[in-house]
Amino acid sequence: MPLIGAAALRADVPWQKAAWTPVFLDAVAGEAEDALLLLATLERAWRAARNSLAGRRRHSRAAIAVDICSSYQYLKPGCSVPEADFITHDTDEIIYILEGIGIATYPDKTYQLKPHMTFYNPAGTAHRFWNNSNIDLKMLVLYTRDNVEDVKTEIKTFMD
């Protein structure tokens, strides 16, 4: 979530540097507090969902649904993930293209990306996403982990 200090952009805020800077810093601090409150609320909801699953049958997939994390990713024109070779993760991954176009490359296949396409990559699937256009490529990525930092990623090279 970007912090932009929107309250400092109101028409009634003076634009002189000495007067505007403290208003801007207060606005950013307020947005940061709001973001922390939202994060705490989301974490409480996640913990409540996890606790409600205690004692479920071993083969229930309900815990997997709770332990999904998402990230919003975008690639600037000309950029790719990874920059070379392929990337793999130790978790399943679902990628939904929100906006833009590009290319998804797998060791044995290539796809043209466009909005509303969805890719499912089982854990260990080697792939690469490249924005070969002049507009941002925006994606929603879901992982079967409760924390993006827990997703283990590895760069691999595949020879033809």
Note the pLDDT of residue 83: 77
Element (H, E) at 57: none
Tell me which residue of 53, 145, 49 sits closest to 41, measured CA to CA. 49
Of 96, 106, 92, 90, whose CA–CA distance to 74 is shortest? 96
* Position with higher pLDDT, 4 vs 100: 100
Tell me the two tokens of residue 84. Answer: 């070379």
At 158, the pLDDT band (50, 70, 90 cuts) reads very low
Least confident of 10-14, 18-22, 92-96, 97-101: 92-96
pLDDT at 1: 57
Mark out the alpha helices in 53-131 (DSSP H runs): 62-66
Q: Is the pLDDT confidence value at 109 over 90?
A: yes
136: tokens are 């941002």
Give residue 102's pLDDT: 94
Q: What is the pLDDT of residues 134-149, one digit of tens each?
A: 999 988 888 776 555 5
More confident residue, 152 or 46: 46
CA separation for the pair 97, 103 (Å, rounded):
11
CB 89 within 8 A of CB 155: no
The pair of three-digit structure tokens given for residue 36, joined into one six-digit string: 């922390």
- C-alpha–C-alpha distance, residues 139 and 120, integer Å: 13
Q: How many other β-carbons are positioned within 10 Å of the β-carbon of residue 140?
A: 14
For the chain, the residue count is 160
Determine if the peptide bond prior to 82 is cis (ω within 30°): yes
pLDDT of 150 above 50 = yes
Specify the pLDDT at position 53. 64
